[in-house]
Amino acid sequence: MSNKKETNPKDAVGIAKVPMSTLSGPVLMEVGLAMMEGALKYGRSNYRKVGVRASVYFDALMRHAWSYWEGEDIDPDSGVHHVTKAIATLMVLRDCMIRGQYTDDRPPKMDPTWIKDMNAKAKALLLKYPNPVEAVTQLMIEKEALQDELLKKVEDDGLHVVAGVAHEGHPDTCKVCNPDTSTTRDPEYASHDCFRDGRFK
């Protein structure tokens, strides 16, 4: 008797078809919500009747993309994420393209090598500046603001901070910041992080 596991005959047929299991369920649910908003406002599948114009949907796509990129996550009109709204926009546009119900009003096309040329220039800049300065992000700004807030609180409590460690009193009189020349120290401060970890700050 063979130990080989029996395979459902349908498997061989099924794996050769377009898979739905490769899609993200949560994202599809969000897109469904975005499409529901459109259905309630304009009638479900109305775009299949009236068609769409490329420029209108390109503009809508870019508005959602730029809103997201400039820091706004949720579309205030719908309460749906801007990225999800962008996906829904593309879904409608592509559906009408497939059905031949869309007006292609794109401008005269460029030579297809224009992006390749721009990428070559970008690569040259990377070679010219191999150690670029770190990008400024909103998360960085928020982190720095939090650090400033914590530092102010520490100072208001009569402490000072050295290398991320809070010390009591003024830096000039701090026994941690100004230990004597000996490698030993007052037992009163023996538990201080700087000394316990062997770090004289």
- The verdict on 147 and 191 lying in the same domain is yes
Q: Report the number of distinct structural domains present in the chain.
A: 2
* Spans of the chain, pLDDT less than 70: 1-6, 9-10, 12-14, 151, 153-201
Domain of 56, in residue numbers: 22-103
pLDDT reported for residue 179: 59
pLDDT reported for residue 3: 61
- The verdict on 26 and 97 lying in the same domain is yes
Question: Quick check: 87 and 136 in contact, CB under 8 A?
Answer: no
pLDDT reported for residue 186: 47
Asked, for residue 122, whether it belongs to a domain, the answer is no
Asked, for residue 70, whether it belongs to a domain, the answer is yes
pLDDT reported for residue 142: 86
Asked, for residue 1, whether it belongs to a domain, the answer is no
Q: Reduced to 3 states, what is the DSSP secondary structure of residue 198?
A: coil
Asked, for residue 62, whether it belongs to a domain, the answer is yes
- The verdict on 44 and 98 lying in the same domain is yes
Identify the domain boundary among 52, 79, 103. Answer: 103
- Strand residue runs (E) in the chain: 52-53, 102-103, 159-162, 165-168
| Nearest-5° Cα angle at 131, 128 to 132 | 85
